[in-house]
Amino acid sequence: MPIFDYKCEKCGATFEKLVPHADDKVECEKCGSKKVAKQLSTFSASVNDGVGACATGSCCPTGTCCPNGACGL
């Protein structure tokens, strides 16, 4: 399951959320607003997970993409 970075458009809080389904609605952890924007993070909290970061392995044929599932495959 991918973990995404979100930023609340209401209060500006940023947080990470584990999202089982890509289209799940996410609420701000601080204020509960549903107006949150998914961030394309340039760093990954999963970096320490190494090759295990890609849960299925099927999205990383080259081993260089989407530690957070951002490629959508």
Q: Is residue 11 close enough to count as binding Zn ion by CB under 5 A?
A: yes
Structure tokens at 31: 């204020």
Q: Is residue 8 close enough to count as binding Zn ion by CB under 5 A?
A: yes
**Stretch binding Zn ion (CB under 5 A), from 28-36, 38-46, 49-57, 61-69:** 28-36
CA of residue 5 relative to chain centroid, distance: 5
Q: Is residue 38 close enough to count as binding Zn ion by CB under 5 A?
A: no
**Stretch binding Zn ion (CB under 5 A), from 19-27, 32-40, 46-54, 60-68:** 32-40
Q: Which is nearer to Zn ion, 8 or 54 (CB)?
A: 8
Place of tokens 């991918």: 2
Instruction: Tell me the three-class secondary structure of 14-39, residue by residue.
Output: EEEEECCCCCCCCCCCCCCCCCEEEE
